[in-house]
Amino acid sequence: MKIGRMFALAVIISFVIAIAYGFYTRTNAAPTVPPSTASRIVVNQVGYFPTGSKSAVLINLGNLPETNKVALVNFRNKRTVFETNLGERYEDEASKDVIQKIDFTSFNKEGRYYLKYGNIQSYPFRIGKDIYEGALTKMLRSYYLQRCGVAVRDRISGVNHPPCHINDGLIAHTDAFNRSGELKRAKGGWHDAGDYGKYVSPTAVTVGRLLSLYEQYPKLFRSRQLSIPESGNRRPDLLDEVKVGLDWMLTMQREDGAIYRKLSGKEWPGTILPQADKQKRFIYGISTPETAKFAAAMAMANRVYAPFDAKLAQNYLKAAQKAWAFLQSQPSWKVDWFEGDDNGSGKYLNEFPEGTPKTDLNDRLWSAAELFITTGDSAFEQYLATNIPSYTYSLFEWADPSPLGMSNYLMQKRWKGSDKLKQQIVAKLLERADSLMQKVALSGYRLAINDFIWASNKRAAEEGITLLHAYRITGKPVYLKAAADQLDYLLGRNHFNKSFITGVGYNSVQKVHHRLAQAKKIVIPGLMVGGPNTKAEDGIAPKGRGPLSYLDDERSYATNEYAIDYNASAIALMGMLMGEKFDQN
């Protein structure tokens, strides 16, 4: 009897926790409206800030409207609380959808609502100051669920497995310091995406994006509980989780400071749980691009972790300086790559057009920026002054992390810095932001991207971050509105009427390409998928259709796979919008 009561109590506690975090399936169940009507008015299914812009889109209305009025309806009592006019019809060039905008910005009363036009209605959404609290927590918790080398016991999501990949890893190729087949302890870290590989490039840019968000908006995380094993240790849970990625990267450093690229098996694992992946896993050759990204992430970690653990922070800085010293001894691009290295894992190497020199300057630029911000050493600032004039402000990703170095240099307050260098960065950033605004103006969904390729959702999130930087520099609300538009798209205001983040929104992605989720037959909450990809390399999603080249299908790794760096971009966009709203109110 006692055991029975304890089991019942455990079930009740788990149920309460699941409801609190929004993971109980009923909280994400679709409202009782016919799918054929719900698919016509597309909204941000999470919601809108009371004082922010609020717009939806009516797509592909078959007949000319008899009325121009759209009703905003209280979800609870079904009463109309506001009416607005339906916008003019026009064709979105990218999707060929016939678009009619619905703007209800002037309505600011908090609550849960849906939009209704005749018998067509949207999925419900909220208007409120705290609309993204639950979504942000879900997305941050995804990293705990990706942990490698440890047991994961998570009642909230249902992810539950013993330690995996505990023998990581064996040196793949003999070099000056290690012999092929030797064991180099590199347990831990995060599984990168839907597979079980671990890669320095995406780990470093994930760490960089999350630590930058923490530096800019620390109050978002001071008391945010992620229900991870380290919760309650007087360090923000975000930093406890990021430490997992940082500490694994430390294991990938060679004695001379160089960084090994990745750790994986020689074959892609099947649809199995991580502990069932018993193949030998190998550590692949050193790389100057990875070494530079590592140095940047470790330099950032020093200044972020110093208030909580001075010794740990110093270890991070020493590792960064050691990596930079190796880069100084190897001034040009160098990657130890061998045929067959990528048979069971992602390549994560830039492709250079034939006849052009291979370069890692963008990676070194990021590391120099972070090392200057951390140490104040003028040699790093001089490196920036020498190289930034010839660089454009691009999209932050593993292939080019330099924009984070530039924006962090611009926003940092530790040192005065060079006014001339700051002016150059501002000019470059605003030039890109204004080019993005042109794309937004031409897009029916107000998207800042028009090239739908691999990881288009991440690209939309990152362009939103650039627009937010432009807003912070200029104070012009048009940039803030355009940044919010990118998140609106990701959360349901798109052709598919679908939130691209699992468990977030009433109609969210269900069939993610993710081995653990597929093996357990569960939907892991808080995962953003790659999104429309016109190349659709998997042969599953439709090819050549731009923003329509997407399929919610677990076989579609080219459009429906999660990755740790995708989530970092979406988290940062969401967190920055939350932070800016806090500042305004």
CA–CA distance from 536 to each of 116, 197, 560 (Å)? 35, 22, 10
pLDDT at 64: 66
pLDDT at 422: 97
Q: Is 284 helix (H, G, I), strand (E, B) or coil?
A: strand
pLDDT at 350: 87
Spatial separation of the C-alpha atoms in residues 319 and 310, rounded to whole Å: 14
Q: What is the pLDDT of residues 329-370, one digit of tens each?
A: 999 999 999 999 999 999 998 888 888 889 999 999 999 999
pLDDT at 65: 65
pLDDT at 484: 98
Contact between 388 and 424 (Cβ < 8 Å): yes
pLDDT at 355: 80
Structure tokens at 523: 């939907």
pLDDT at 425: 98
Q: pTM of whole model > 0.85?
A: yes
| Regions of the chain with pLDDT less than 50 | 1-39, 582-585
pLDDT at 352: 85
Q: Where are the beta strands (DSSP E) in 50-133?
A: 55-59, 69-74, 80-85, 90-91, 98-103, 111-117, 120-121, 125-127
Q: Which of 472, 350, 457 is nearest to 402 (CA)?
A: 350
Domains of the chain, first to last: 1-30 (no CATH), 34-127 (2.60.40.10), 133-337+360-500+559-584 (1.50.10.10)
